[in-house]
Structure 1
Amino acid sequence: MAPLVPSQEELQRRRIIGINAETVTNIPSTDFPGHWPGESHGWALDQFKQNFNVEYHRNDRYEASFSLIGLDAAVANAFRRILMNEIPTLAIETVYVHDNTSVIQDEVLAQRLGLIPLTGSVEGINWMRWEQKIPGDDAPEVELTDFNTVVGQLSIECTQNFDAAKDETDARKLYHNAHVYAKHLSFGPVGRQSEFFVDDGAIRPVHPDILIAKLRPGQRIEMELHCVKGIGADHAKFSPVATASYRLLPDINILSPIIGEDAKKFAKCFPKGVIGLEPVTSQEAAKAGSGYQGHAGELKAVVKDAFNDTVSRECLRHEEFNGKVKLGRVRDHFIFNVESTGQFESDTLFLESVKVLKLKCARWKRGLSDLMA
């Protein structure tokens, strides 16, 4: 017996997660074999290729927004977690304090330095090795080489500015180097690093105006900084993204006409631009059973752009809209927002997350083969 083929309306209904006033319905995914009698829901590569799609909404250098359509939530969440935790990046790991007479303690100053995002030649950063740490006190020491460590310096001293006006109160004009910024960090390539980290590809802070410390005459800081590659799972300073999140595409279905003042009130329940107001046409007013009879020329509420809706449920609080609107979210349409900290461009980060997931699948496949051998 051939498997049953559900209608497009039924398939669309299954895709929508119901958003009610106090509950969320139709949450579990049902597209697996055996759930719907007589229907075949076995996973097939050809069918996945046909249904899967990627749409970019914004692609700036350090911020991107795109949709992954036709994907399971587990896979979408895997990309999000990989973006935050498993793409190796460069950050300050070890700080050797030679002199620090500022008011900031050594360990606090070192922690502030570690959180400064760095950038440089992507080719060079990818060329460097990620020396994965082995837990335990008896773990072997990692040999520092040009393949795994970038060395930097912070050497600065605050002095009096004798050319400042007598009535000057701004410390930045009264003294030289009163404020220590990220731009005062310097990094020198060694060994083969000179092939990558030079000119525009030199290692440097992403934001040169990050305030590190404040000094007064006689105070100085002199430190040696060792930068290594790491992942966000070890420490947040290695995370290549400031934010990596996704949301499901909102679905707004107006079940019965909302006209006149109710339409204006309905539009105010949503973010600007989500609901539009259009006049009722004479054809709609003349159509029997449309609900617009006798309302030609009046304003009606229409869904203009559900993409920007936040699904606040505000419209469900008002009795006049009871039974006239159904809110939902499309379960397999994930709208991603990725904001890079600056070491990698935003679209490159997502491609890197795909590479990491492919490596995970390859390791899992090899392990499965070993179990079956």
Structure 2
Amino acid sequence: MKFSNEAKAAALALSLMDGIGPVRARKLIAHCGSPEAVFKESKQSLERIPGIGSFLVQEIRRSRKLVEAEKQLSEADNKGWAVHYFEDKAYPRRMRHCEDAPVVLFQKGHTPLNAKRCISIVGTRNMTDYGRDFLHQFLEEAQSLNLLIFSGLAYGVDACAHRKALDNGIVNCAVLAHGLDRIYPALHRKLATEIVEAGGSWLSEFPTGTNPDRENFPKRNRIIAAMSDAVIVVEAARKGGALITAEFANQYNRDVFALPGRIHDPHSEGCNLLIKSHRAYLLEGARDLSYIMRWEAISPMAQKKQLELFENLSPDERLLIDALVPEKESKSLDWLLGKCGITGAQCLRILMSLELKGLLETVPGPRYRLKS
């Protein structure tokens, strides 16, 4: 289902209001039925919603943030950025079910965010040769796993993960703690540009004009954790952003992996603590990730063929593919119609096209599933 700009503007307006975070925004939307309905709801009805006090009701009734949100959407459209509402098909499905996930996500680039295998890589800014050598080897080995990688574009481990992913032809995305109109640190602008040019993206919940303020980084870290199947911690002190990301990952029931280090090395204290307290698997290489996650390698030829096929898909074909990718069982036509919000004639035409391309098969029922 596609949501109107009015709905996205209303959702963004809620996220721009002081005192209304993602949890309260979702509560308001659920109570009123849609983002735009929140601003049309009566004062008395809003006051009956638990956790919404008179100050927030006054802010909503003034609707001042709607004008700002509409300007933000117009600017995003002019710059070719995508704006994903949390119920959009293109919104990261892994993150959608986290109660504190942003109601709106900005994206520069065209990376499909619902890839079959997603990991995040985080760690210290004060990276050593030990961590650098590990990432070089790990990402070289991980080429065959067909991963989408997320990191935070910070100094140290983040930047190294982005760079080594690019060197090995792995699509990766930078999750930012500020608006898409700037890059922090500025020294990484060239790296950030290369990420997009190679098929990756910049992602942020923050609107244009938002600075990289200190309080934004933990918020950024929760997105890095929520968007992935697994979080990999490469060198981390006992306290810091990497451990915060790992904590979020555990809260979201994501798998966490940590690179072990020497017991008196301050750069490995955090990793060793995660392993010792059973909050992370010990990671020595890509084989450990593959074994724990039950991810089989994809041969380079099969991967190349798969990429070529997916590059030639129409938006409607991608819609059906995205719906079927996370499903292990075959699905009926009625299920697809409800999931994708299209007509029966459209759906049958797209199914036939995908079957002719060798991406889909029909099983008795009739039911449909992607070819393995």
Name whichever structure is richer in helix by fraction.
2
TM-score normalized with structure 1 length: 0.23
Between structure 1 and structure 2, the one with the greater Rg is 1
Higher relative contact order, chain-length normalized (CA < 8 Å, sep 6+): 1
Hey, which of these two has a bigger chunk of strand by percent?
1
The TM-score, its normalising length taken from structure 2, stands at: 0.23
